[in-house]
Amino acid sequence: MINKTLDILQSKYQLNLQEIFFEDVRIGIYKTAVQLTGDRYGVAGTHRAKSGDYKYRTNRDQTPFSTNHIIGQNVKDLFLAPSSPIVDNLKVATLNALSGKIIQNTDYQVIEDTDPIDLVDLSGQKTISIVGAFKGYIQKIGATNHTMHIVEIRPEIIPPAYQKHFVPTDQAATVLPHSDIVIITGSTLVNNSLKDLVQYLPKHGTTILVGPSSSFIPDVLFEQGIDIIGATRITQPKKMLQIVSEAATGFHFFRYCAQKICILNKKSTIFGT
């Protein structure tokens, strides 16, 4: 998905990646942020290597995109670099930075200041699967009579009151196809798990991808069956860089430096087309 999106940015929107460089990079505990040539700013979730990953810990300073070697590098070279937690974080944040002005100035159907859950029909009795421990969504859905599944790789981060809804990630195929609504964290783009999940999306349900990581041009995501993207528009870029360095989460973004936007798949049947 990342490489296909990059191809569209270069072919359709004529971005010359050789002329775009990293001017600032912040890799915080929860988010990774970049500033690129041309006042382009982007953010993504921070995916970290496992604490016991000895191979990563010993090799991390031997690549071009490692500590003290990122600022000044060419964006094109990033997408040629071998995968690593740092590189994977930077790729998604960079796609978001390259896409920001395009999304704002083209004909994508965008709704501002709206949470994607507010665009779907929650009446009646539904089955709702949440991929990722979104505390706000879990509490909102948990307060209803809907059937809720929480697909998560780390069950310990699910609030204790909702542990009974836990579904291991290797059992996603048992719940996602039968859901009326699926809400997926954009961090699945960073850890490269979305490509496996899309094969299980419900054919007659609604799929939402949400979070700062999912803020790049939506063409490829829409082709994969995503109906609504809950993205992030950076409104105060310097503040964004600062708070990422101060362990910002998505909550802090919308409080200090960003706006919620929803990008709608105009070809989706849920919008009556």
Q: What's the rounded mean pLDDT across residues 170-199?
A: 94
Over residues 86-105, the pLDDT tens digits come to 999 999 999 999 999 999 99
Q: What's the Cα-to-Cα distance from 212 to each of 124, 141, 148, 241, rounded to whole Å?
A: 30, 21, 23, 14
Binned at pLDDT 50, 70 and 90, residue 56 comes out as: low
Over residues 122-140, the pLDDT tens digits come to 999 999 999 998 899 999 9
CA proximity to 20, closest of 97, 105, 102: 97
CA proximity to 76, closest of 144, 157, 17: 17
> What is the CB neighbour count within 10 angstroms for residue 92?
30
66 in Cβ contact with 56 (< 8 Å): no
CA proximity to 212, closest of 86, 84, 92: 92
The architecture (CATH level 2) of 109-271 comes to 3-Layer(aba) Sandwich (3.40)
- The Cα 31–Cα 29 span in angstroms is 6
Q: Is 3.30.390 the CATH classification of the domain at 2-105?
A: yes
Task: State the DSSP string of 18-54.
Answer: GG-BEEEEEE-SSEEEEEETTTEEEEEE-----TT-H
- The Cα 117–Cα 104 span in angstroms is 22
Dig out the tokens for 117 from the structure.
């859950």
Residue boundaries of the structural domains of the chain: 2-105, 109-271
Q: What's the Cα-to-Cα distance from 200 to each of 54, 107, 197, 205, 251, rounded to whole Å?
A: 33, 29, 6, 11, 29
- The Cα 181–Cα 148 span in angstroms is 10
User: What is the pTM assigned to this prediction?
Assistant: 0.91
pLDDT of residue 54: 47
pLDDT of residue 169: 93
> What is the CB neighbour count within 10 angstroms for residue 83?
9
> What is the CB neighbour count within 10 angstroms for residue 173?
12
* Counts of helices then strands in the chain (DSSP H, E): 10, 11
CA proximity to 217, closest of 67, 74, 106, 126: 106
| Torsion, CA 206, CA 32, CA 47, CA 192, rounded to 10 | 50
- Where is average pLDDT lowest: 33-37, 63-67, 202-206? 63-67
Dig out the tokens for 11 from the structure.
């072919």
pLDDT of residue 57: 54
**Residue 262 in 3-state DSSP?**
strand
